[in-house]
Structure 1
Amino acid sequence: MTTHAVRVNQLGYPAGWPLGATVVSDSPTPLRWQLRDPSGTTAAAGETSVHGPDPAAGETVHTVTTTAPASTDPTDWVLVVDGVQSAPFALGARAADRYRDLARDAARFLYLQRSGTPIADPRFGRPAGHVGTAPNRGDGSVACHRADCPRRRLLFGCRGHDLRGGWYDAGDHGKYAVTTAVTVWLLQHAVERSGDPNLLDEARWGLEFLLSAQLPTGDPDAGMVFAAVHDARWTGLPLRPDADPQPRTVRIPTTAATYGLAAVAAQAARVWEVHDPVFAARCRTAADRAWNAATHNPVVYATVAEAADTGGGPYDDSDVRDERYWAAAELAALTGAEEYRYAMLHSGLDPVAAVHEGFDWRSVLPLAQLTLALGPGWTAASAATGARAVLATASEMLLTTIAAEGHATPYAPPDGRYCWGSNSRVLAHALTLAAAADHTGDARFFAGELACLDYLLGRNATGFSQVTGYGARAVARPHHRFFAQAIDPAYPPAPPGVVVGGPNSGLDDPVAAMARSGAPPQKCWIDDPGSWATNEVTIGWNAALALVANHVATHLAPPRSLGTPRAA
C-alpha cells in the first residue's frame, strides 16, 4: 500500500445506524480494521471492501461499513485501518446530541447575518450594519446608481427605497431576493413540517425584507420585487458591516424575485395563520400581487451584464419556469384554485429530474415537491401522492449513487465537474432523502441522509469537515468580511456550525486556481479566506444544514427546540 488515509464523519455515528468510512489504499486485497474506544480497546473489527478507483477523488479507495454500537464512553472513538488511525468521533447518544447542537448552531448563523440591527452576542456581536451611521451609507433610501439602467426613467427608478433589514447573503454585504426567498422557505418549511414555531422569528426577519422590496400600488410595475441591494463596488476583507463606506445600489425588479415572494408569502399565509392572522393576511395579499405581477412581466431577468462592475453577485437566471411552478404549488396549497394547479401541469418540467438534480436559488422546483408532499391546506390528495412518489423515485436514484461513489456521496454530476456550492447539492439531496424517509417509513432513505452528513463532516477527499467547529480537522478560515480572524486578529473567528461551499471544479478565484489547479473534482477546495469560490458561506446553505441536522436529531431522540439563541 503506497498511500492511505482513513476518512470518517468527525461528528459521529448514532447507535444502530451505519458507520461508514473511506480508506485511501491501492491494495488489491481487503485490509483489517478495528473500532477502538477511548481507552484503545477494540470494540469491533472486520475487513474493508475494495472499491477501486474513485474518479471524483482521484484516488483508489476501500470502504468500511459496519453498524455503530451503543457506548457508555461516547467520545474519542477512532477507526484504525492497517495501522492508520482516523480522526476521533462520537458514538451513540452523544452523536445524536451533537446533531442537535449542530442544528442550533446552523440556525443561529442566520441571526448573526442580520442587517440593520445590532447583533447581541458576547463573541460574535457587532453594531447594526447599513443603517446610515457614518461611514456607512445605509439601506434606508437606496436608488439605482447605474446611468444606463433601463428603468431609471420610470417613476420608481430615481427615488430612494427603504430596504433595511434582511440578511447579508454570504461573506459580503449584499442582500438578494432569490436567496432570501429560499432561506425563508426552508425555515417556514421546518415549522410546517414539525410544528415547532421557534424558527418563525428568524423567518419573519427575512420575509419582512422581501415584503419591503415589493413595489407598491402606483408604481408602473406594482407587485414586482427588487432583485437585490448591495454595494456599488466590491470591498475587501476584513470589513465590519457598519464600517462599509460604499454607496448602496438597488437592482431592478425581476420575474424570478417576484415569483419567489409569491411562493414564500403564500407559504407564510398558511404557517402564520395560527400565530398571527393579521400578518398571515398581509402575506396572502402580497402573494396574490406578486403572482399577478410576475404573470404580466414573465421575462424580466437578472443578468450578468446588469450586475457588471458592481459590488454584488449577478444571480442571473433566464429560465423562470421552475419559479412559477414553485409559486403555483404554494398558492395551490393555500387556496386550492385551479389556476395554480393548471400552471403546474403545463410547466413542461420533469419533477423527478429536478429533484434528483437538487435545488438551489436558480432551481427551486424541488421545494414545490416538498410542500406538495406534506399535503398542507388545500393540496389535493392526488398532488400529495404524486409528490411523495417523485421524492421516493429520486431518493432511490440517490441511494444508487451513494452506493457507487467511493466517499458515499449522493452528488455525482454527469460531466464529473463539481459545481460552485457543491456542498449545498449534498444538503439538498439530504432533504430529499429525509422527506422520502418520513413519507415512506423506509429506513434506507434515512441511512442515505446520514451518508450525506458523513460526507460533509469529513468522509470526503479533502479530509476536512466542511462545517466550522465540527470535527478535529474542520474548516476554520471561510471567506467572510466579519468572521475574519484568519486575516486580522481583531475580528472574530467563524462561529461553529457554518457550512462552506466546498469543492468547485471551476476554481473561479485566484487563490483556489493557484493552489488546486489540475486537482480532481472533490479536491478543488481550499480552506483559505481568499477563496470565495470554494470557501464562502451563505444563508441558504446554512438554513438547509439546520433542517437536515435537526431532522436527524429528532429522528434519533425526542425533539428539543431549534430556536435561535441570542448569545453563545
Structure 2
Amino acid sequence: MYTVDLIIANDWGTGFTANLVITNLSNDPLEWSQLEFDAPFTITNLWNGEILSSEGDRYVVTNADWNGTIAAGTSISLGFNGRKTSGAPVEVTNLNLVGLGAPTGSVPPTSEPEPEFPKITIADISLMEGDSATSADFQVRLSASSDDAVTVRYRTEDGSAIAGEDYTATSGTVTFAPGETEKTISVPVIGDSQVEADETFKIRLSNPSNGDLEVSTATATLENDDVAPPPSSNPPPATSPASDSAGAISFEVTDDWGSGFTANVTIRNTGNEPIDSWTLGFDAPFTIQQIWNASFTQSTNGAVDVAPVDWNQTIPPGATVTFGLVGAKAPNVDPTPINYELNGAVIGDPTPAPTPLPTLTISNATATEGADDAAEFRVTLSEASDEAVTVNYTTENGSAIAGEDYTATSGTVTFAPGETEKTIQIAIADDTQAEASETFTVELTNPVGATLEDAQGTGTILDNDSDSPDPGPNPNPDPNPNPDPGDGSPSTGEFNYAEALQKSFLFYEAQRSGPLPDDNRIEWRGDSALNDGADVGQDLTGGYYDAGDHVKFGLPMAYSMTMLSWGVDEYRDAYSQIGQLDEALDAIRWGTDYLLQAHVTDANGTREFWGQVGDGNLDHSYWGAPEDMTMARPAFKIDRQNPGSDLAAEAAAALAAASIIFRPTDAVYADTLLTNARQLYEFADTYRGKYSDAIPNAQSFYNSWSGYNDELAWGAAWLYEATGERAYLQQAESIYQNQIGSLNQGWTLNWDDKSYGVAVLLAQQTGDQRYQQDVEGWLDAWVEGRNGVQITDGGLRWISQWGSSRYAANTAFVAGVYADTVRDPGGDYSALAETTVDYLLGDNPRNASYVVGFGDNYPLQPHHRGAHGGTSSTLNSPAPNDNILFGALVGGPSEPNDFAYEDERNNYITNEVALDYNAGFTGVLARMVDAFGGTALSPAELDALPGITVPDAF
C-alpha cells in the first residue's frame, strides 16, 4: 500500500515548483523503479529522480540510485519545476508504480497549507533624550489574538543615533501568550547634556512564528532637550580616561539559540588619552561560559568584571578593543547587559557625528518579452527626508538596444518629504526571434538632498520565443579547448604572485596523509597513517592532516576544499596561464577522494559520514613526524541517530563546488561528486544537529560555534551553482533570510562561519540588493576599520589574535571576488584584496613575508611537527626547522600591532599553519595573478629548492 501526493510549493502563473511525495503505508520496505502519470504541463527539470520518457501528457520517471527503497512508514520526494498556461490547474492523474499498481485513495493536488496568522506590526515613536538613562518603548501589536503562542525576533539598528553612544544595542524575542495582542520592547536610551540635532535609530522584526509581519521596522526619534550653556571665561577642565566621556560600549549578539548565545563586546576610547589597564564592569542576565581576548570574574548576582589579556591592555584614543563570549541564559531572555562601568566610571557619550544625508539605491529588474509591458526599477531612499529629494535617471544600452528591445527613457525622480520609495518603468519591446536574455542599465545621476549609494540598476529582458526555459547558471561551462599551459608573464605588481601561488600547492602536498603517489614532490614526506579506519572496518586512509598536527578534522578539511574550488572556479584562466591548473586540481582531488571514502550510503541515501580520524588530545601529546607515530587513531562519525548537519552540508558544498571545476576535464568524476553532494545535503537537511555534539572530541579543537544553518545555506548555494536547480537557490535564500538574517561586520568567513560566503554567492546568483547591502556593509567595516575590525599602522586588518593572517586573507579573497563579479564601489574592495596580499608577502613594517619559503625574510620555525624534523626534546631549539614548509601561511600578528609576531616553533598563536589558513589565501593569490601576472618557477628551479624533488624536471 502506498500513496502519492502532489504538493505545490510555488505557483507563479506560467510555471511552478512541486513535489511528488511517495509514502509507504505498509509494514515492509517498498521497492520501486518507475512511476507513471499523466500531467497537463511540461516538466522542465526534475531532481531526486530521472525522466525515462515523455510522450504527450504521459510521463515515466525512475528513482535515483539512493531512493529506490522506501522504508516502512516513510516517504521520499521527487521535486520538479513545471511550465504551464497561466491560470491552469496543476494536477496529475492515472498514477501507477510499475509492478505495484495504482496508489491507495485519490490524489487531489494540494498546496502547502497557509494558515491565517495574525498580522504583526510595530509603531514609530518619539521621545525626549533626557540627561540620564531613559527608555524608548516600542509597541508591538497583533491584529488579532491567537490560540497559539506567537513569537518574533527583534534587533536594533543604528541610524544617526549610535549604539553605545546614544542608546544600548538590544536584541531578543517578543512572545505573545495565547490571547495577548500587545507587547512592549524597551530600548535603554543613554541621556546626555550635549546640544545636538535630533537622532534616530530603528528596530527591526524578523523570524515570526505563528504570525505574519505586516510592519517590520519602526523608527525611534530621540528629540534633543538640551540648551547651550552661557559662555564662560574659564576653560573647561581636561578630560581624563576615567571620566564619564572616556569610552563607549557596543554589545552585539552574533548567534542566539534560546538557552545560550555568542556575542562581541567592543570598547571604544572616546577620550583624548590612552586608557591603560582597563576594566569593564556590567550586570549580566546570563552566565559567561567562555570568553576570548579577555579574562573575567562573575558573582552569583550576575555582576561581571572583565580584564584585558597581555596584548590589549591599552586602548589608544579613538581605538577599540573587542572581546567575545559564550553565555548561558533562559530562553526568550534578552542578554543585553546593563550598568556598564569602565575603570570604575559610568561611560559617557562622545560627540555625535553630523547627521548624514540619506542615500539612494536602485534595484535590478527583470521583464519578459510580451508577458511584461515594462521593467520596473525601485529607487529607494534609505530614510525619509524633511526636504524634497530629486535624482536624474537615464537608460544605457547593454546587449539590449534602445529602439529594438526597450524604449530609451530619461527623467527625474522626486521624493516628497516623508517618501522613501519610487519606481521607474521602462517599456519593453516584443519580437519573434529566439535569442539569449539581454540587458540594459538605468543610471542615477545628480542627486539633490541625498547621496548615491548604488547608482546603477540592471534590467534583464527574458526571451519568450525559445522552446527551452532559461536554465539559470550554466553548470557545465565550456572549457577553453586545449589550453596551452605556460609559465606566465612578468608581474606588474609588487611581488611574483605566481611563485607564491605555486608554492601554496607544495604546502598542501606536505599535508597529505596515507600512501603517497609516485610523483610526490616533498622529499621529507613518506607514507603514513596506513591503518586509518581499521578500527571501524572502513578505509579512511588519505586526506589531509589539519595543521602542524596529524588529526584529520572533517569540517575544516571540507571547507578548505570548497574554498580551493571556489578560487579555481573564479580564476581558472590564471591557474592555466602559469601552468598550475593541474596542481590545483590534484590538491582538490586529494581532498574530495577522501570525502567520498568517508561517505557511506545505503538504499535510503547517506547512512554515515566519518568526520574525524585521530584523538586530538592523544595526537597533540606527540611531537614527531607522521611517518613515526604509533598512537591509536580512532575514527568518529555522524549518522542518522547522531547527526551533524554542519559537517555533512560542508562536505556537500565541497563536492558540489569541485564538480564544477572538474566537469570540463572529467565529467564522470564530476557526476560522482555531484551525486554524493546531493545525498549528503539531503542527509544534512533531514537529520538536523551540530556535528560537535555527535563527535565530542572535536569540541576542544573545531567546535561548531556558529551552528549548522550557515552550512545548510552554503551547501544549497553551491548545489545551485553546480546544477542550476532553483529549489536549491530557494533553500539558500530562505535559510539566509530567516535563520542567518544579517552579517556580523566584525567577523569574517572561516572554517566555522560560512554566512559571509553565502551572502556573496547569493549576491552573485540573484543580483538582489538585500545581499549586496549585507556584503557591502560588512566589507566597508573592513575597509574603514570599524565594528571590531582594527587596522595596524602597516595596513593589516586585524580581528582576532589566533591566526590573524588567515582572517585577513579570507576577507581579501571574498572582497576580490565580490569586486570582480558584483560591485566595487570606488575600487575599495579590490584595493582591500590587493593590499592585504602584498602585506602578507612582505610589504609591511617588518619587511617580512608571512609565507614560509617566499621572499628573503620568511618564517623559519613554523609550528609543524613534520617540518621541524625533530622531537619534543628539541622543540624549543632556536635553530630553524630541518625542512622548509614551502608555501604555508603562518598565523601572523597576535595583536593589532605590526611587530606583535614571534617566529617561534612553540607559538601556535603566531606561527601555526593549517589547511584553512591557505584555502582563501590561495584563491586571492590566483586573483593577483589574474590582475598583475607573474611567472611560476620552472621544474628545474623547483627541483633546486631544498627538500623538493620534481620528477622529470630536466
**Fold match, TM over 0.5?**
yes
In 1, the alpha carbon distance for the partners of 2:555 and 2:546 equals 10
**For the structure 1 residues 561 and 331, does the alpha-carbon distance in structure 2 shift closer, same or farther, using more than 3 Å as the test?**
farther
Aligned pair partner of 2:902 in 520, 526, 536: 526
**For the structure 1 residues 354 and 338, does the alpha-carbon distance in structure 2 shift closer, same or farther, using more than 3 Å as the test?**
farther
- In structure 1, what is the equivalent of residue 730 of structure 2? 341
In 1, the alpha carbon distance for the partners of 2:537 and 2:603 equals 15
The offset of 1:503, in angstroms, is 3.6
1:399 aligns with 2:399: no
1:540 aligns with 2:916: yes
- In structure 2, what is the equivalent of residue 299 of structure 1? 689
**For the structure 1 residues 296 and 186, does the alpha-carbon distance in structure 2 shift closer, same or farther, using more than 3 Å as the test?**
same
User: Are 1:485 and 1:492, in contact at CA under 8 Å, matched by a contact in 2?
Assistant: yes
The offset of 1:483, in angstroms, is 0.4
Aligned pair partner of 1:216 in 601, 609, 612: 601
Aligned pair partner of 1:287 in 672, 677, 700: 677
1:499-523 superposed Cα distances (whole Å, 9 cap, x missing partner): 1123446xxxxxxxxxxxxxx7766
In 1, the alpha carbon distance for the partners of 2:706 and 2:785 equals 30
In 2, the alpha carbon distance for the partners of 1:346 and 1:316 equals 18
The offset of 1:389, in angstroms, is 5.3
The offset of 1:281, in angstroms, is 1.6
**For the structure 1 residues 454 and 382, does the alpha-carbon distance in structure 2 shift closer, same or farther, using more than 3 Å as the test?**
closer
User: Are 2:554 and 2:611, in contact at CA under 8 Å, matched by a contact in 1?
Assistant: yes
**For the structure 1 residues 305 and 265, does the alpha-carbon distance in structure 2 shift closer, same or farther, using more than 3 Å as the test?**
closer
In 1, the alpha carbon distance for the partners of 2:674 and 2:520 equals 34
The offset of 1:251, in angstroms, is 1.9
272-281 or 351-360, which deviates more: 351-360
The one-letter amino acid paired with 1:102 is: A
- In structure 1, what is the equivalent of residue 868 of structure 2? 484
User: Are 2:797 and 2:808, in contact at CA under 8 Å, matched by a contact in 1?
Assistant: yes
User: Are 2:588 and 2:658, in contact at CA under 8 Å, matched by a contact in 1?
Assistant: no
1:117 aligns with 2:494: no
Secondary structure at the aligned position of 1:357 is classed as coil
The offset of 1:209, in angstroms, is 0.9
Q: Describe how 1:303-322 pairs up with structure 2 within 5 A.
A: 303=693, 306-307=696-697, 313-317=701-705, 319-322=707-710
Aligned pair partner of 2:888 in 474, 498, 503: 498
Aligned pair partner of 2:851 in 444, 467, 492: 467
- In structure 1, what is the equivalent of residue 526 of structure 2? 127
The one-letter amino acid paired with 1:342 is: Q
Aligned pair partner of 1:183 in 560, 569, 572: 560
1:368 aligns with 2:758: yes
199-208 or 459-468, which deviates more: 459-468
- In structure 2, what is the equivalent of residue 270 of structure 1? 660
In 1, the alpha carbon distance for the partners of 2:938 and 2:715 equals 27
Secondary structure at the aligned position of 1:252 is classed as strand
Aligned pair partner of 1:242 in 627, 637, 654: 627
330-339 or 344-353, which deviates more: 344-353
User: Are 1:301 and 1:317, in contact at CA under 8 Å, matched by a contact in 2?
Assistant: no
* Higher relative contact order (CA closer than 8 Å, sequence separation 6+): 1
User: Are 2:501 and 2:926, in contact at CA under 8 Å, matched by a contact in 1?
Assistant: yes
- In structure 2, what is the equivalent of residue 411 of structure 1? 797
The offset of 1:185, in angstroms, is 1.0
**For the structure 1 residues 218 and 174, does the alpha-carbon distance in structure 2 shift closer, same or farther, using more than 3 Å as the test?**
farther
The one-letter amino acid paired with 1:450 is: E
In 2, the alpha carbon distance for the partners of 1:494 and 1:479 equals 12
- In structure 2, what is the equivalent of residue 424 of structure 1? 806
The offset of 1:256, in angstroms, is 1.4
The offset of 1:345, in angstroms, is 2.2
The offset of 1:213, in angstroms, is 1.3
Secondary structure at the aligned position of 1:228 is classed as strand
- In structure 2, what is the equivalent of residue 324 of structure 1? 712
Identity percentage of aligned residues: 22
1:165-198 superposed Cα distances (whole Å, 9 cap, x missing partner): 1111100111111111111112211221123443
In 2, the alpha carbon distance for the partners of 1:544 and 1:122 equals 23
Paired positions, count: 434
C-alpha root-mean-square deviation of aligned residues, in Å?
Answer: 3.7
The offset of 1:125, in angstroms, is 3.3
Secondary structure at the aligned position of 2:614 is classed as strand
Secondary structure at the aligned position of 2:863 is classed as coil
1:169 aligns with 2:546: yes
1:304-357 superposed Cα distances (whole Å, 9 cap, x missing partner): 98218x9x8344446111111101111222242325413432443557625762
User: Are 1:227 and 1:302, in contact at CA under 8 Å, matched by a contact in 2?
Assistant: no
1:339-381 superposed Cα distances (whole Å, 9 cap, x missing partner): 5413432443557625762111110122234444554xxxxx4
User: Are 2:648 and 2:681, in contact at CA under 8 Å, matched by a contact in 1?
Assistant: yes
**For the structure 1 residues 270 and 94, does the alpha-carbon distance in structure 2 shift closer, same or farther, using more than 3 Å as the test?**
closer
The offset of 1:228, in angstroms, is 0.9
Higher strand content, 1 or 2: 2
1:403-435 superposed Cα distances (whole Å, 9 cap, x missing partner): 97342546354xxxx242221110112112212
**For the structure 1 residues 459 and 287, does the alpha-carbon distance in structure 2 shift closer, same or farther, using more than 3 Å as the test?**
same
In 1, the alpha carbon distance for the partners of 2:842 and 2:694 equals 35
The one-letter amino acid paired with 1:545 is: F
Secondary structure at the aligned position of 1:216 is classed as strand
**For the structure 1 residues 552 and 299, does the alpha-carbon distance in structure 2 shift closer, same or farther, using more than 3 Å as the test?**
same
User: Are 2:745 and 2:778, in contact at CA under 8 Å, matched by a contact in 1?
Assistant: yes
The one-letter amino acid paired with 2:525 is: R
In 2, the alpha carbon distance for the partners of 1:349 and 1:410 equals 32
User: Are 2:798 and 2:808, in contact at CA under 8 Å, matched by a contact in 1?
Assistant: no
Question: TM-score if structure 2 supplies the norm length?
Answer: 0.41
**For the structure 1 residues 494 and 561, does the alpha-carbon distance in structure 2 shift closer, same or farther, using more than 3 Å as the test?**
closer
- In structure 2, what is the equivalent of residue 433 of structure 1? 815
Higher helix content, 1 or 2: 1
Secondary structure at the aligned position of 1:251 is classed as strand
In 2, the alpha carbon distance for the partners of 1:282 and 1:123 equals 30
In 1, the alpha carbon distance for the partners of 2:777 and 2:935 equals 28
User: Are 2:743 and 2:774, in contact at CA under 8 Å, matched by a contact in 1?
Assistant: no
**For the structure 1 residues 304 and 407, does the alpha-carbon distance in structure 2 shift closer, same or farther, using more than 3 Å as the test?**
farther
- In structure 1, what is the equivalent of residue 532 of structure 2? 139
Question: TM-score if structure 1 supplies the norm length?
Answer: 0.67
Mark the runs of 5 or more structure 1 residues left unpaired by the alignment. 1-51, 58-91, 132-137, 144-158, 376-380, 506-519
The offset of 1:460, in angstroms, is 5.9
Secondary structure at the aligned position of 1:313 is classed as helix
The one-letter amino acid paired with 2:541 is: R
1:184-222 superposed Cα distances (whole Å, 9 cap, x missing partner): 112211221123443112111101111211232169x93
Secondary structure at the aligned position of 1:225 is classed as strand
**For the structure 1 residues 255 and 536, does the alpha-carbon distance in structure 2 shift closer, same or farther, using more than 3 Å as the test?**
same
1:88-143 superposed Cα distances (whole Å, 9 cap, x missing partner): xxxx9475552221111112211121111337567643211111xxxxxx2151x3
